[in-house]
Structure 1
Amino acid sequence: MFLVLGGCSHIGPGSVAVDRFDYSSAVADSWKQQTLLNIVKLRYLDMPVFVDVASVVAGYSLETGGSLGGQVSSADAVQGNSVLLGASSKYTDRPTITYVPLTGERFLTGLVTPIDPKKIFGLLQSGYAADFILGLTVDSLNGVRNRSAVAGTVREADPEFLQVLQLLREIQVAGAVGMRVEEDKSKGQIALLFMRSNDITPDIQAKQKMLRGLLHMPEDRQQFVLRYSPVRGEADELAVSSRSLLQILTAFSSYVDVPQEHIEDRSALPAFREGEASSARAQIHILSGKDKPRHAYVAVFYRDYWYWIEDSNLAAKRALGAVMLFFTLAETSGNEKAPLITIPAQ
């Protein structure tokens, strides 16, 4: 009976429904933790290290066996009749997970190279909020500077930049701004930012005019070529000084609540000066403490302290998710010949 049951059962199909989601959740959670850990490490001037999960091979085996024995004795035998039953089973779950350390020239280049402005504004075209995406990925627009955190020094954004983000968001919601990519025989693909002038309300037209004034863009033009540049270019261009992934991570690290003892022993970069960036700090805040948090969206342990993002902090959760998305946009694929670390989990 046991031999028949063992030959007819299938454990593979039933494991798909469970393992697919369990492994997906585990990889996603570890990715969030790895990203947060590297953000925290940058406040300590520690090198960020990324390890990718290259493959997960789940191996299962089910062994069953049974035995049936007995003895029939004669009428005058000392021992009587007997029946012996036996059964055994063995279940083994032995996944093999392969990790790939992201190293090499291609990875480092992707880490420090500014993200293509075409990709950034492509996210806006896909529906992402302009003020949120540009606030994380852009250092300046036509020379109007965003908030920056470099080597422990925090430079606040120009007031005009904050107005630009707000106006862009309102114009985006009204559907009066967009982007398209065109082919140029001599220049290849070029990205064009255009402002729609037809079928829009006078209020949106006034905001478009105000936006052009803040960015020093001519009022009679409806489309502008997106160019990477830290300074303002030609009249028909919108100069975008985009950030690299490393710059985005560094800017994010300025919101880490570093323990006071680490500030005093100078093992970490200084925290905010009092009153500095209070509005941004209230929105994006990475907490720290000795005890493991109970209601954290993601938490990591580093240098005897826990660092975490509260599950109720929607702005910080959205920003962390965006950083993970930017990691993909930055083309940080490791070297194909990178070493593999394979750990059998038994």
Structure 2
Amino acid sequence: MIYLVFSVNFRMICFLLTILLLFGPIGCLNFGPVSLKSERSKYNMAIQKTNDEQLLLNLVRLKYRDTPFFLEVSNVASQFRMKNKVSAAAQLESMVKDIFNLGASSTYEESPTVSYTPLQGDKFVKNIMSTLPLKTITLLFQSGWSVERVFRVCFQMLGQLENAPGASGPTPKLAPQYKEFLQSVKYLQELDDRDALRIIYQEPNGQPQMLLQVSDDAKTSKPALEFARSINSIPSLKQYILTHFPTPDQVQHFPVIMNRGKELRIVPRSLLGMLFYLSQSIEIPKRDLLKGKVTLTKTAKGEDFDWFEVTGELLTIRSSDEKPLRATVRVFYRDTWFYIDDSDLNSKSTFSLLTQIYSLQSGSIKSTEPI
């Protein structure tokens, strides 16, 4: 009798184990796609978050005249391993039939490998310290960014109008020239808002140029006439040529041909210059100002200059002793929290533009051994 019970139970266990082994792997078929969907989003958000934090951190470093450092994620690899466990136990007694226990469990392990590449040497000079190409600036405008935001961030001179060129390096001691430039690009923005402005890139004889083209209907409008006046050009022009090469003297005496347009010397910033420029938008804690940890810019009258007159409409980076709760990005540096408020849409837009420029300049990152 004992033999018969054992025989029945053993056959039942074997049957159930066979079912588990045959149909258990079906769950594994969904494991790959499900894990990919879940983990890819997590890695995407983690890399985006740390990239934003690194960019904000370097802005703060530059304001304090500390050394910036860029560490790029060059490769992310992740391995998933699934383990299945099946157990069986039976109680073999002559008086008790068909008593047995079955168990099954599955676990998976993730092994991520992240590779980092420091941006230094030739790549740092080429991507961070070289002026932004006119072709890239044109691409930014054509991809939907406003002409005012792009010009204010990317250019430090338009014709003879200065856009705080001294701010493209460490904070200057004297207040910059900027008001005429800001007003001039606001006229361009008015034309752009009316869909009356086109910006085109060309390279005649290998010389990079940006063409500002005003529509026929708008060339005699108030913003078009005011823009022409602000750059000392004759009114009602349909086209302006922005280029690196003419010197200010050549531009002043350059004959304007109605069907060609007026040439203007343009001076773009480097990415590092943009970072320095936008670092002026940081609210510095009073204790650091009193201790002389940052440069205080003075007006010609010896009064403190407010940099928010230059960058306030573009970007505001706030500071707090306590961790901010409503921040789109934040970093803790020098015992202070620096952050961008999540409801500050202008600042978020400019910061997003800066991240795009950084991505365009960084280009492809050569993969290295993981660290």
TM-score, with structure 2 as normaliser? 0.80
SS state at 2:45 partner? helix
Query: Who is 2:138 aligned against?
Result: 121
Query: Who is 1:92 aligned against?
Result: 109
Q: For 1:265 and 1:194, how far apart are their aligned partners in 2? A: 47
Q: For 2:75 and 2:368, how far apart are their aligned partners in 1? A: 14
Query: Who is 2:277 aligned against?
Result: 251
Q: For 2:312 and 2:210, how far apart are their aligned partners in 1? A: 35
SS state at 1:169 partner? helix
Give unpaired runs (5+ residues) of structure 2: 1-18, 255-261
Asked if 1:151 is matched to 2:177, the reply is no
Q: For 1:62 and 1:339, how far apart are their aligned partners in 2? A: 28
Amino acid at match of 1:296: A
1:205-249: CA deviation from partner (whole Å, max 9, x where unpaired): x43232122112344753333212695343342211111111110
SS state at 1:6 partner? helix
Per the TM alignment, residue 320 of structure 1 is displaced from its structure 2 partner at its CA by 1.0
**Residue correspondence of structure 1 range 174-253 to structure 2 within 5 A:** 174-182=194-202, 184=204, 187-188=205-206, 190-200=208-218, 202=220, 204=221, 206-219=222-235, 221-228=237-244, 232=248, 233-234=250-251, 235=254, 236-253=262-279
Asked if 1:55 is matched to 2:78, the reply is no
Change (3 A) 1:224 1:170: same
Query: Who is 1:3 aligned against?
Result: 21
What percentage of residue pairs aligned between the two structures are identical? 27
1:103-159: CA deviation from partner (whole Å, max 9, x where unpaired): 221222221111112322332233321111111111110020013424322633443
Q: Considering Cα pairs closer than 8 Å and 6+ residues apart, tell me whether 1 or 2 has the greater RCO.
A: 1
Contact 2:130 2:271 (C-alpha < 8 Å) held by counterparts: yes
Q: Which shows bigger deviation, 144-153 or 297-306?
A: 144-153
SS state at 1:175 partner? coil
1:5-35: CA deviation from partner (whole Å, max 9, x where unpaired): 4322231111232222222111111111110
Query: Who is 2:5 aligned against?
Result: none
Per the TM alignment, residue 4 of structure 1 is displaced from its structure 2 partner at its CA by 3.4
Per the TM alignment, residue 170 of structure 1 is displaced from its structure 2 partner at its CA by 0.8
Query: CA-atom RMSD, angstroms?
Result: 2.8
Amino acid at match of 2:244: Y
Query: Who is 2:149 aligned against?
Result: 132
Change (3 A) 1:81 1:312: closer
Per the TM alignment, residue 39 of structure 1 is displaced from its structure 2 partner at its CA by 0.3
Amino acid at match of 1:151: P
Per the TM alignment, residue 46 of structure 1 is displaced from its structure 2 partner at its CA by 1.4
Change (3 A) 1:307 1:136: same
Contact 1:61 1:91 (C-alpha < 8 Å) held by counterparts: yes
Query: Who is 1:167 aligned against?
Result: 187
Per the TM alignment, residue 282 of structure 1 is displaced from its structure 2 partner at its CA by 4.7
SS state at 2:73 partner? strand
Query: Who is 2:343 aligned against?
Result: 312
Larger radius of gyration: 2
Give unpaired runs (5+ residues) of structure 1: none
Q: For 1:258 and 1:268, how far apart are their aligned partners in 2? A: 8
Q: For 2:107 and 2:143, how far apart are their aligned partners in 1? A: 51
Change (3 A) 1:247 1:285: same
**Residue correspondence of structure 1 range 19-98 to structure 2 within 5 A:** 19-74=39-94, 83-98=100-115
Q: Which shows bigger deviation, 127-136 or 33-42?
A: 127-136
Change (3 A) 1:211 1:264: same
Q: For 1:230 and 1:300, how far apart are their aligned partners in 2? A: 43
Q: For 1:98 and 1:214, how far apart are their aligned partners in 2? A: 50
Q: For 1:90 and 1:26, how far apart are their aligned partners in 2? A: 24
SS state at 2:294 partner? coil
More helix by share: 2
Amino acid at match of 1:177: L
Query: Who is 1:292 aligned against?
Result: 323
